[in-house]
Amino acid sequence: MQVSGKEAMGMELIFLAEQVVNGLLLGFYYLLIALGLSIIFSLGGVVNLAHGAFFALGAYFMVTITGWAGYGVGFVASPLLVAILGMIVERLFLRRFYKADPVLSLLFTFGLAMVIEQSLRMIYGASPLQFSIPPAARGMVTVGDFMYPNYRLAMLAVALAALGGTWWLLRRTAFGKVVRAGISDPDMVRALGISLAPVLTAVCGIGIGLAGLAGALLSPVTGVHPAMGHEILTAAFVVVVIGGLGSFWGVVVAAVLVGVLRGLTAYFYPPASEASLYLLMLAVLLLRPRGIMGERMERLE
C-alpha cells in the first residue's frame, strides 16, 4: 500500500508534534528539580549536589510504598517523605554551611549523594527495579491522527500543578514574602526580628520534595536504579544556569526552551539530542553570563 506525499507529510508532522510534547514534558521535570536547586541556593547559598539522589529516593519510595499500599498512597507519601528527609538534613547538617566556605557545602552534599546512592545499592541491589504504569493510567488519548499516552499527559498536568502551587506559595502568601525578602536582604529581615532558620528549613523541604515528586512520577517511564539522579541533576543545573540563579520565571523559561530544543533535535538529528542543551547553555553564557533572567554580574558583563 503506497502512501501519498500529503499523507506522509501529515505523519511527519504528527511525529514532530509527539517529539515536541515529549521534550516539553522532560523540560517540566527538569524544572521540578531546577526550581528546588534555585530557591535553596538563593536563600541559603548552598549548591545541593545531593538533589539528584533525593530524586532517586522519590522513585524508590514510590516503588516500595506502591507495593505495600497502592499507587495513590505512594504518589502522595513519596514526595512527602523525601521532603521530610530534606528538612531533617537541613536541620542537622546544611545550616552549618550557610556562612561557611561554599566549597564545604559542595563537598558535603557530594558525599551525601554518594552515601544515598550506595545505601540504595545495599538495600535494593544494583539492578533496575521493575515498576509499571498503573492500570488506570494506561491507554492513549487520540486527537485525529495524533495519539499520546494518558500517563504522560497526567504527568504533564501534575508538573504544571506543582509549578502553579510553588508560584502561588512564593508570590501570594506571607511565607513567600519572607522568602523573597530573605533572598533580597536577609540582614534587614533579621533586623525586623524575623528568624530565617525555619524558613530555610521549609524551603529545603519544598525544593527537595519537588525533586522527590519528579522521581515518583518518572519512575515508571525512566526506570528505577541507584544512579538515576546523575543525568537529570546535570540537566537541572543546566536549566538553572540558562535561566539565571534566583529567578523563578527564568528557570521556567529555560526548562521550556531546553525541553522543546531536545524534542526538536530528537526529530531532526537524534544523535545531538543530549548535546543540544549544553550547546544552548554555552550560547546563553557567551551572550548573557547571568542567564536569561538572572541578576547582573559586574565582573562578567
Quick one: CA torsion of 236, 238, 242, 246, rounded to 10 degrees?
Answer: 50
The SS3 of residue 191 is helix
Is residue 47 in some structural domain? yes
Rounded to the nearest 10 degrees, the angle between the axes of helix 229-243 and helix 5-44 is 80
Residue 226 has pLDDT above 80, yes or no: yes
Please tell me the predicted confidence (pLDDT) of residue 83: 97
Question: In Å, how far are 41, 165, 186, 276, 299 from 183, measured between CA atoms?
Answer: 9, 20, 6, 32, 21
For residue 296, being part of any structural domain is answered with no
Q: Say if residue 301's pLDDT is above 80.
A: no
**Range in 73-87, 131-145, 150-164 the model is least confident about:** 131-145
Q: What is the CA radius of gyration of the chain?
A: 20
Is the residue at 208 inside a domain? yes
Q: Average the pLDDT over 7-28 and give the result.
A: 80
Supply the CATH number for residue 77's domain: 1.10.3470
Q: Indicate the pLDDT class of residue 148, thresholds 50, 70 and 90.
A: confident
- Hey, which residues does 141 pair with through a beta bridge? 148
Task: For residue range 57-67, list pLDDT tens digits in order.
Answer: 999 999 999 98
Is the pLDDT confidence value at 3 over 70?
no
Is 117 within 8 Å of 97 (Cβ atoms)? no
What pLDDT score does 8 carry? 66
Q: Is residue 75 classed exposed, middle or buried when 0-12, 13-18 and 19+ CB atoms within 10 A define those classes?
A: middle
1 pLDDT exceeds 70? no
Q: Residue 37: which domain range? A: 16-133+141-285
User: pLDDT at residue 211 above 50?
Assistant: yes
Q: For residue 300, what pLDDT is reported?
A: 34
- Say how far apart CA 237 and CA 277 lie, in whole Å: 11
* 71 lies in some domain: yes
Q: What is the pLDDT of residues 235-264, one digit of tens each?
A: 899 999 999 877 888 999 999 999 999 888
Give residues with Cβ within 8 angstroms of 65, minimum separation 6: 73, 74, 77, 78
| Number of structural domains in the chain | 1
As a whole number, mean pLDDT of residues 63-80 equals: 93
pLDDT at residue 201 greater than cutoff 90: yes
- pLDDT (mean) for 119-132: 90
Q: Is residue 280 part of a domain?
A: yes
Residue 301 lies in a domain: no
pLDDT at 231 over 80: no
Which pLDDT does position 297 carry in this prediction?
41
**Amino acid at the residue 11:** M
Tell me if 206 is assigned to some domain. yes
What's the pLDDT at 107? 93
State the pTM of this model.
Answer: 0.90
Closest to 217 measured CA to CA, from 157, 287, 278: 157
Give the tens place of pLDDT for each residue, 173-193: 999 888 888 877 777 877 777
Cα 13 to Cα 5: distance, rounded to the nearest angstrom: 12
Residue 299 lies in a domain: no
Question: Which residue is listed with cell 488519548?
Answer: 141
Average pLDDT over residues 99-121: 92
Q: Is the pLDDT score of 5 beyond 80?
A: no
- Amino acid 246 reads G
Q: Say which residue, 144 or 93, is predicted with more confidence.
A: 93
- Of the listed ranges 39-43, 52-56, 206-210, the one predicted with least confidence: 39-43
| Run of H or E including 256 | helix 248-268
